[in-house]
Amino acid sequence: MKVIVIALLSSMIIMGCSEPNQQQSESLAEDTMKLNLETPAPQAKKVPHPLTAHGITRTDNYYWMRDDERKNSEVLAHLEKENAYLENVLAPLADTRESLYEELVSRVPKDDSTVPVLDNGYWYYTQYSGDNEYPIFIRKPTLDAEDETLLDVNELAKGHDYFSVGTVAVSRNNAILAYSEDTVSRRLYTIKLRNIDTGEYYSDTISETSGGIVWANDNTHFFYVKKDPQTLLGYQVYRHKIGTTQADDVLVYEEDDDTFYTYLGKSKDDDVIYVFHSNTDMTGTTLIDANAPTKPTRIFLPIEHGVEYDIAKSGDSYFVLTNKDAQNFKVMRAPASATDDVSQWEEVVAHNPDVFIQDMEVVGDFLVLKEKENGEQRLVAHNLNTNVVKTIPMEDPIFGVYFTGNTQTNTDTLRIYYSSLTTPPSTLDINLVTLDTKVMKQNKVSEDFDASQYRSERVMIPARDGKKVPVSLVYKKSTFAKDGTNPLYQYAYGSYGSTVEPTFSTSWVSLLDRGFVVAIAHVRGGQMLGRAWYEDGKMHAKTNTFTDFIDVSKGLVAMNYADGDNVFAMGGSAGGLLIGAIVNMAPELYKGVSAHVPFVDVVTTMSDASIPLTTGEYTEWGNPANKDEFDYMLSYSPYDQVKAQAYPNMLVTTGLHDSQVQYFEPMKWVAKLRELKTDDNLLLFQTDMEAGHGGASGRFKRYESKALEYAFVLYLAGKLEKKMN
């Protein structure tokens, strides 16, 4: 569930239609004759399964599809039938899918590498080459020295249908490599160790971890988080000593509140290891002395309901970004010797109710803040010596920016990852004294890509309650006319406070070049307009996320940015919940929707603490043990609200080994839709039998699912012709 995903949609009812557009249905029926529709769609058997809570009994006819072991032959057979049905129906689009795939991967450089980052005397980077699907991790003592290969993931991945490296971590004496791998896609990682000089593996093998690895400074111990193999909740922090077995590892922290996630970090000066405790509306941190890893831990600040904070160590103090008495956050400074005594803290940047502080980075003599005001982003540098405050200039009016690779404490150079809807991802180094900027790398799109041919805009669209929803738009100038003739592809997420920034997507170029307008709806549930924007889109206000999305679709049609007969929506994970809700609430608006790994069986999932991620998200969706929260979730849960009505054309995808949203949620949803929907529109369901929540693990292979979706969308929009001028 908790994974940032895309949700897109569009709208077509602005002309006063309250019923499905009859002209659209007839046109679609004529068009779909080109596909193979003779084979009947798979029909799942019904086995009534009563679920009773708070005096309400729900009958789930498809509960039988749940198989935690993923070995039930009947379940697997039905998934294979759905896969075969999709391939049969879309057989006439096979060439289209292949050409789209080739087009998409042509924008992925065959030979590519990241910008080197200095850490503990070595420069580290990753490199891709040729047709290799996976990276090679490399280091060297100086930039002009020869490469030293630490890990070739292509070699490790041989013989595996899925392979993912979680963390690569080198001991502080630069002699031992530790890395974590997942070969199933359940995000249960195994840690392995290797001598860098000899290449020999240690006997140490640590299983069922979250993948994170943090070394102590004695080169003998490292820390990791152990996961519960059923719930996949990381809840125990262990200290491992090189040369011993996992059974000998020392438990240093155990989380007894299953609404918290646990993960690790380390201070930039390498002195302190952090154990982070994260709930959706409160956080905490436990400190471990990296120079004395066997000493007792200590609490940075006692956890307080509703209070969140993030920390950055700087010398003998910590900068603290917190919402304590500051809804949109403020920055405090706490002495390292008394972090738990708030009376000794001092204010560095005061709370401003109009400015949301998203993130902070301490670089040399500067505190740099990532801020938003009215949804517009900026980076602000505070000189800690002179108290001079400067806004760092950016090239685009709307953009996304992230701190990256800032490993040094004695520099005035800030490194950022920068992108906009028209500017490909770039790594920039900024001199915080002069504000001079150096482009260290800009991702290449293709030989013929010209950013000046595209335009982005930010518009504000009124929601039904009067709130204005920010929308970021991008289109190709030569194919766009503000006359209501362009097809629309609308995208959002809208959960966990995750802010979807207006950044570049190489895949979207394939839509833009065929005349689409792509829109990101910054709906409530995210934090584009600050913390209140998130609070107004969660728990008992969750439906604002869905109605915002619908109202944006209507608004874009009304403003002639989009053709009301060619509106498409796509979303995944929690964004898939958004898609599931809007097709129940306003199916007439969309010609087609794509729902990827969708979280759609809200009440049943949140009622079962054995399902991964459930307990950690009670404060996002609600706890069904409480009747008011049960009733509210039931009112919008996509699976529970499926009814006898016409639905748009739908493409649903999942992964058998999904660790976030279990495969049986979309499987059940599709079965129920097939049973109740009254239309003849497409309902296609694909399960990747080897992958999980993030899809295929290879850098090229993952575009197969994108090519499938785009073939589906372009076919329905009548845009299968090659790119337009």
DSSP per-residue letters across 649-670: EEEEEEETT-SSS-THHHHHHH
CA 231 to chain centre: 20
Q: What is the mean pLDDT of residues 445-452?
A: 94
pLDDT top residue among 170 and 281: 170
Beta strand 468-476 with 454-462 is: antiparallel
Question: What is residue 659's predicted lDDT score, i.e. its pLDDT?
Answer: 77
Asked if the model's pLDDT at residue 657 lies above 90, the reply is no
CA 9 to chain centre: 18
Report CA-CA distances (Å) from 574 to 159, 534, 640.
Answer: 32, 14, 16
Question: What is residue 6's predicted lDDT score, i.e. its pLDDT?
Answer: 28
Task: Report the catalytic residues.
Answer: 573, 658, 693
Asked if the model's pLDDT at residue 30 lies above 50, the reply is no
370: its two tokens = 């990532």
pLDDT band at 143 (very low <50, low <70, confident <90, very high): very high
Question: What is residue 500's predicted lDDT score, i.e. its pLDDT?
Answer: 95
Long-range contacts of 38-44 (CB under 8 A, 24+ apart): 39/85, 39/88, 39/89, 41/85, 41/674, 41/683, 42/78, 42/81, 42/82, 42/85, 42/674, 43/674, 44/78, 44/671, 44/674
Question: What is residue 582's predicted lDDT score, i.e. its pLDDT?
Answer: 98
Could you count the other beta carbons within 10 Å of the beta carbon of residue 544? 23
Cβ–Cβ under 8 Å, residues 179 and 148: no
Q: What is the mean pLDDT of residues 327-349?
A: 96
pTM value is 0.90
Q: For the chain, what percent of residues have pLDDT higher than 70?
A: 94
pLDDT band at 13 (very low <50, low <70, confident <90, very high): very low
Q: What is the mean pLDDT of residues 191-216?
A: 97
Among 208-212, 215-219, 227-231, 683-687, whose mean pLDDT is lowest? 227-231
Three-class DSSP category at 624: coil
pLDDT band at 722 (very low <50, low <70, confident <90, very high): low
Crossing angle of helices 22-31 and 703-717, in 10° steps, is: 120
Report CA-CA distances (Å) from 549 to 463, 465, 470, 520, 536.
Answer: 9, 13, 11, 10, 14
Question: What is residue 695's predicted lDDT score, i.e. its pLDDT?
Answer: 60
Report CA-CA distances (Å) from 642 to 1, 60, 241.
Answer: 20, 12, 53
Mean pLDDT, the chain, rounded, equals: 92
Beta strand 56-59 with 50-53 is: antiparallel
Question: What is residue 720's predicted lDDT score, i.e. its pLDDT?
Answer: 86
Q: pLDDT digits over 608-656, tens only?
A: 988 887 888 999 999 999 999 999 999 999 999 999 999 999 999 999 9
pLDDT band at 23 (very low <50, low <70, confident <90, very high): very low
pLDDT band at 4 (very low <50, low <70, confident <90, very high): very low
Question: What is residue 16's predicted lDDT score, i.e. its pLDDT?
Answer: 28
39: its two tokens = 């084979």
Asked if the model's pLDDT at residue 458 lies above 80, the reply is yes
User: Number of H helices and number of E strands within the chain?
Assistant: 13, 39
Question: What is residue 694's predicted lDDT score, i.e. its pLDDT?
Answer: 61
584: its two tokens = 């129940």
pLDDT top residue among 22 and 324: 324
- Nearest in space to 545 (alpha carbons), one of 567, 576, 590: 576
Among 94-98, 238-242, 480-484, 615-619, whose mean pLDDT is lowest? 615-619
CA dihedral (499, 502, 505, 511) positive or negative: positive
Question: What is residue 441's predicted lDDT score, i.e. its pLDDT?
Answer: 97
299: its two tokens = 């609490």
